[in-house]
Chain A
Amino acid sequence: SQQGEEDPQALSIQEGENATMNCSYKTSINNLQWYRQNSGRGLVHLILIRSNEREKHSGRLRVTLDTSKKSSSLLITASRAADTASYFCATDAGDTQGGSEKLVFGKGTKLTVNP
């Protein structure tokens, strides 16, 4: 079953605007990661935020984590057409059985940035 749920399912904006995507999850986590996927190809790792962190930045990306609400957000500032992709959050679900690093993904947010 899917642990994370991204919101919205689809988002269309103009170049230069900011894009915000949200992710909610159900169980306790050790960390949460965001990935980007272009046109059904492999996933590109964007950022990892640990459960004891509240905010993290990487270039034009800003991720927040609220463990009390079991939610995270990804903000892309000054978006570009090249940011058009699907974005997924993934949690480790706090799974320590046998040391598994199993990631649990949501269904993703499809972002379209119009030139």
Chain B
Amino acid sequence: DAGVTQSPTHLIKTRGQHVTLRCSPISGHKSVSWYQQVLGQGPQFIFQYYEKEERGRGNFPDRFSARQFPNYSSELNVNALLLGDSALYLCASSLVQTQYFGPGTRLLVL
């Protein structure tokens, strides 16, 4: 079975732009979570979606938004990008408790 997939793998944007990151969960997993990992730190929780409904939100500004589609894939949107948004964005899917992570999207904001 394929694992969690994310696209794109790398992305370069400039300040003020908007970005959309995509995630496809493991087949059969209905829950998708998003995390931000800046260099040298552990991942920080951004959102969790289950059955298309938001189940949790981390301490991130409203510039960050997400949604989940009927096929359980998900998008993370970030508006008005700041230099500090440069990070590895990780998506994870789960069935029960254990979260399985994708390879991440590395975003660089210049």
Chain A interface (Cβ within 8 Å of chain B)? 2, 4, 31, 33, 35, 40-45, 48, 88, 90, 92, 95, 97-108
Q: Which A residues are CB-close (under 8 A) to B94?
A: 101
Map CB proximity to A onto B62-98 as digits: 1 under 8 Å, 0 otherwise.
0000000000000000000000000010101010011
Q: Which B residues are CB-close (under 8 A) to A98?
A: 55-56
Across the interface, A95 reaches (CB within 8 A) one of B50, B56, B106, namely B56
Complex Cα–Cα for A40 and B90 (A): 11
The B interface is mostly helix, strand or loop, or mixed, namely: strand
Complex Cα–Cα for A4 and B41 (A): 12
12 sampled A-B residue pairs with Cβ under 8 A: A33-B98, A41-B104, A43-B101, A48-B98, A92-B97, A95-B56, A99-B50, A100-B56, A101-B94, A103-B43, A103-B99, A105-B43
Complex Cα–Cα for A45 and B90 (A): 13
Map CB proximity to A onto B9-45 as digits: 1 under 8 Å, 0 otherwise.
0000000000000000000000101010001111111
Residue of B nearest to A47 (CB): B98
Asked if B90 contacts A43 (CB within 8 A), the reply is: yes
Asked if B55 contacts A99 (CB within 8 A), the reply is: yes
Q: Interface centre among A48, A90, A97, A102, by most B CB within 10 Å?
A: A102
Asked if A42 contacts B48 (CB within 8 A), the reply is: no
Asked if A106 contacts B42 (CB within 8 A), the reply is: yes
Residue of B nearest to A50 (CB): B97
Asked if B45 contacts A103 (CB within 8 A), the reply is: yes
Asked if B43 contacts A43 (CB within 8 A), the reply is: yes
Complex Cα–Cα for A113 and B56 (A): 38
Residue of B nearest to A30 (CB): B97
B5 to chain A, nearest CB (A): 10
